[in-house]
Structure 1
Amino acid sequence: IADVILPTNFPGLDITPANLELQEYEYDTPLAMQDKTSNAGRQFFTRMAKALTEVDDRYDVVVVDCPPQLGYLTLTAMSAATSVLITVHPQMLDLMSMSQFLLMLGGILKTIKAAGAAIELDWFR
């Protein structure tokens, strides 16, 4: 990840821009999970945390902006996170949708934790 971090005009604020190659992660992960000779696919949730350890000494805070879906990339980011902030539009339909999302997320995170992920959130808002 250190190779793709770009500086901004703001001191101390860097950015790693996303691109379409990130979408390949959603397709490659299920294929890797089927590979019986390697455990790498089944440990997909550790990939982002491992990448961030490369630059851990350079940053106090890393913000990962994920799409509003429970894909492999979002689950990997959740596994690497120490805190989660989810924004929601203050309307009833959006709040109900977020409630359903959080219920689904809780179930999935329990499964991932049982598989060996170290999910340790300081706060979830």
Structure 2
Amino acid sequence: MSNEHKNEKDWKESLKKRMNIEPGIHTGDKGPQKKYTFSFWYFFIILMAFLAINSFMVSRQPNIVQIDYNQFKQLVENRTIKRVNIETERYVGYSFSLGQLATDGIIPDGGAQAFATYKVEDPSFVPLL
């Protein structure tokens, strides 16, 4: 039995020499790594940045005024509403066009106005756009 134990030990020693590994040391180990600690301040700063970006984006959207469909159609005919988004359940009209916003880079005089109304199946409405 001691002969088997000796052969096993010799086999392990020869493997260690071939691989140049010392006992207890593993390949690929880079030594002690710095442990990352989570700070409350990191979370707080990220949260504040998110809230600042969110408030900036929300403030750029125009206030949407709910009006009657006939008033909405009249504003489209008068060209007060220059752009209309057709959604599944409502129409949303804007007092400025995307072209104005793209060329000027700002919302036209006095701010933007947006109007919304419920969607009506009116065949005479689409040609007005």
More strand by share: 2
The alignment's TM-score, normalised by the length of structure 2, stands at 0.24
The alignment's TM-score, normalised by the length of structure 1, stands at 0.25
